[in-house]
Amino acid sequence: MEMTITEKILAAHAGLAEVRPGQLINAKVDLALGNDITAPIAIELFRRTGAKNVFDKEKVILVPDHFAPNKDIQSAEQCKILRTFAREQELTQYYEVGQVGIEHALLPEQGLVLPGDLVVGADSHTCTYGALGAFSTGVGSTDLAAAMVTGELWFKVPETTKLIYRGELRPWVEGKDLILYTIGEIGVDGALYRAIEFTGETIESLPMAGRFTMANMAVEAGAKNGIFLPDRVTKQYVKARAKRKYCFYASDKGAKYEEIREFDVSNIEPQVAFPHLPSNTRGISEIGEIPIDQAVIGSCTNGWLEDLQTAAKVLRGHRISPNTRLIIIPATPSIYRQAMKDGLFEVFLDAGAVISPPTCGPCLGGYMGVLAKGERAIATTNRNFVGRMGHPESEVYLSNPAVAAASAVLGRIAGPDELDHG
Amino acid sequence: MKFRGRAWRFGSNIDTDAIIPARYLNVSDPEELARHCMEDENPKFVKEVKQGDIIIADSNFGCGSSREHAPIAIKAKGISCVIARSFARIFYRNAFNMGLPIIESGEAVDGTEDGHELEVDLDRGEIRNEMTGRVFKSSPIPPFMQRIIDDGGLMEHIARRRN
């Protein structure tokens, strides 16, 4: 039977020659990931089963990135649960503050996730690794606990929606705009329970950072996973990082898709998602006058080095508006170091921004930039639900890093074309 | 299994930040989480919910984060089951795995208003609206998942298999 890339990876991990959509399978996982919010519950469940050891101490990864460095006493207690468990189980992949980065940028960067892998993580944005041609999906703490004990998990094989992108990207348009535009078209449950396969000539020339951004937000359309067919761009990214074998899968020509959609990207301008859903998108030319109090550039969606480079390009030679705060969060320590070496921090500090250590922080209203009542932010993050970044009466608008940077300078939501880039 | 309670009606795309805002995720104690369940979405809910009450919502209930704190908060609040036109997939898995009954039934959603009294018979897959007398059918649960429920949740299911 001819299969999609998602079906092939699931079949290989279930020890089956073939699988079909709707089939319930038990599959081996290559990695099981938890963070400081979801792992404490999983660890308690793990202990309750009476299991002595995790299935593989190199394959259970704990990343305290949400509220670390600890934001308060309770979060300090949660992080301590991870630290204690990691020491007791001798986990090789526990990341302490100083080494820790935002999980979904950290794992690919460290070469821990590779093409062809099956990865589960107790975090909804675990789908990010689909950018590498892996099957990865978010699960809850109970699923994580089950995977920690057995190294396996049950899955329902998803149907696949194939998205084809054609044409050349306009200036300042990148992966973030493609995925926001797509969610605007198909809706926040447009790919519910399904796999999304991102394909087409535009995708073939999209850099890894843009692919990570798109796969990251597949869950914002309800998808189980978002996946790219690995190619030379993937190979370039993984070859220096991989410490074990990996496998490039491809979809068969006759593979069956539940739905196929095509997008002509040459018509897409930078996108902004209005409160309170990622699907409330508008082109930058259609937004009107929206003053902002804060801009955030970072997160597992847009905290990559390329995102910081784009922000610096827009900010160079400008000061942010006196009415706006700009918070920049490099996603990992090595992105942080590289940005510093490349002189990007100088640009950010000259512009009046503050640079945070790697953390999820403000994206989920944790800390490091929580909004007050009535405040409004533009952010390169992934969700703009009610109260997502703080007070229930605050607002979040989602955009790419160039738009967020230009908005910080002008004190209102604006595209980078409104600024002079000397 | 049978439940009876007041229906609390919610709209589409009720996200996990609405079910339990992230500002409370520095703890995982069920009772503490329950105190803030849906507080931004409907402040009346958290004050007036009674043991056994039922959440009835439109499509894509539980979208967003993978936080299991969301079904934990709902269950600890005393909600007996959630009925929706559709569920976001991680929430669906989480609810199953931890033993919060959930039912997909567009008919029941269309035929129920806030405050209606409902009786749910999980074994027969029936939802009865006591106000209107109408009976709705829910989609059957796959046998594999039924076994997880019968064992009392995923961890118990695994523990049983290990022994």
- The answer for A 42-81 residues in CB contact with B (under 8 A) is 44-45, 48-51, 66-67, 71-72, 74-75, 78
Q: Are residues A55 and A165 in the same domain?
A: yes
For the stretch B131-149, pLDDT in tens is 999 999 987 777 888 888 7
What whole-number distance in Å separates Cα of residue A189 and Cα of residue A175? 20
Q: Are residues A204 and A315 in the same domain?
A: no
Q: Are residues A326 and A230 in the same domain?
A: no
- Residue B119 phi, psi dihedral angles, 5° rounding: -120, 130
Residue A166 has pLDDT above 80, yes or no: yes
Residue A182 has pLDDT above 90, yes or no: yes
What are the residues whose beta carbons fall under 8 Å from the beta carbon of A412, sequence distance 6 or more?
A289, A290, A291, A292
Is residue A401 within 8 Å of A297, Cβ to Cβ? yes
For the stretch B44-56, pLDDT in tens is 999 999 999 999 9
A29 or B151, which is more confident?
A29
Structure tokens at A243: 């410490």
Structure tokens at A218: 């597949």
Picking from A263, A292, A324, the residue at the C-terminal end of a domain is A263
For the stretch A214-227, pLDDT in tens is 999 999 999 999 99
What whole-number distance in Å separates Cα of residue A83 and Cα of residue A220? 31
For the stretch A30-46, pLDDT in tens is 999 999 999 999 999 99
CA distances from A71 to A124, A251, B20, B58, B68 (A): 22, 45, 19, 36, 21
Q: Are residues A179 and A109 in the same domain?
A: yes
Smallest Cβ distance to A140: which of B18, B86, B97?
A: B97
End-to-end CA distance of chain A: 57
Q: What is the ipTM of this complex?
A: 0.94
Residue B30 has pLDDT above 80, yes or no: yes
Q: Are residues A240 and A335 in the same domain?
A: no
Query: What is the number of domains present in chain A?
Result: 2
User: Would you call A365 and B155 a contact, using CB atoms and an 8 Å cutoff?
Assistant: no
- The two counts, helices (H) then strands (E), for chain A are 14, 18
**What's the mean pLDDT in A311-326?**
98
User: Would you call A143 and B25 a contact, using CB atoms and an 8 Å cutoff?
Assistant: no
Q: Are residues A177 and A52 in the same domain?
A: yes
For the stretch B75-127, pLDDT in tens is 999 999 999 999 999 999 999 898 899 999 999 999 999 999 999 998 888 99
Q: Are residues A341 and A251 in the same domain?
A: no
Picking from A204, A232, A263, the residue at the C-terminal end of a domain is A263
What whole-number distance in Å separates Cα of residue A397 and Cα of residue A180? 11
User: Would you call A41 and B17 a contact, using CB atoms and an 8 Å cutoff?
Assistant: no
Reduced to 3 states, what is the DSSP secondary structure of residue B46? helix
Q: Are residues A181 and A315 in the same domain?
A: no
User: Closest by alpha carbon to A333, among A1, A146, A163, A95?
Assistant: A95
The owner of tokens 């069920």 is: B30
- With a pLDDT cut of 90, the percent of chain B lying above it is 77
Q: Are residues A302 and A395 in the same domain?
A: yes
Q: Are residues A285 and A403 in the same domain?
A: yes
CATH code assigned at A402: 3.30.499.10
Residue A355 belongs to what domain range? 272-418
User: Would you call A383 and B60 a contact, using CB atoms and an 8 Å cutoff?
Assistant: no
Decide if A40 touches B, using CB distance below 8 A. Answer: yes
User: Would you call B26 and A75 a contact, using CB atoms and an 8 Å cutoff?
Assistant: yes
Number of A to B CB contacts under 8 A, please give it.
135
Q: Are residues A249 and A390 in the same domain?
A: no
**What's the mean pLDDT in A352-371?**
98
What residues does A193 pair with on adjacent strands? none
- Residue A300 phi, psi dihedral angles, 5° rounding: -70, -15
- The answer for B 121-140 residues in CB contact with A (under 8 A) is none
Picking from A199, A228, A263, the residue at the C-terminal end of a domain is A263
- Residue A136 phi, psi dihedral angles, 5° rounding: -140, 140
Q: Are residues A293 and A196 in the same domain?
A: no
- Identify the H or E element spanning A106: helix A103-109
User: Would you call B17 and A385 a contact, using CB atoms and an 8 Å cutoff?
Assistant: yes
Question: Within 10 Å of residue A218's Cβ, how many Cβ atoms?
Answer: 31
